[in-house]
Amino acid sequence: MLAQSPDGARTTPREYHDDIVDHLVDNLKQLEKEQIFNRIQIFQRDRQCVFDSKKDSQAAAEILASLLFGQWSNFDKEMLDIGRKRLEKLKIRNQER
């Protein structure tokens, strides 16, 4: 799906998505602790690198937690607005059938 449309959403059942997100920060902490990788980078949906362990001194898990559970970026807000508008169009189209 990502190769076909990097900006498009992928459908993942909600329970799987939530379970994965709930454990991402702890899993990343473990990876950092065990120093399994020599470099960790975190990218946002817009492909902007927001963390690079080669350049940043803060823990990757802290950055990830703030991205996942902190304030929404303007990009996140725009994506939500686009999604809401698309949902409204789909509702109208379904009512017309």
> How do residues 32-48 score in pLDDT, each as one tens digit?
999 999 999 999 888 99
> How do residues 43-85 score in pLDDT, each as one tens digit?
988 899 999 999 999 999 999 999 999 998 888 899 999 999 9
pLDDT of residue 75: 84
Provide the whole-model pTM.
0.65
Give the 3-state secondary structure of the chain. Answer: CCCCCCCCCCCCCHHHHHHHHHHHHHHHHHHHHHCCCCCCEEECCCCCEEEECCCCCCCHHHHHHHHHHCCCCHHHHHHHHHHHHHHHHHHHHHHHC
> How do residues 1-12 score in pLDDT, each as one tens digit?
455 666 666 678
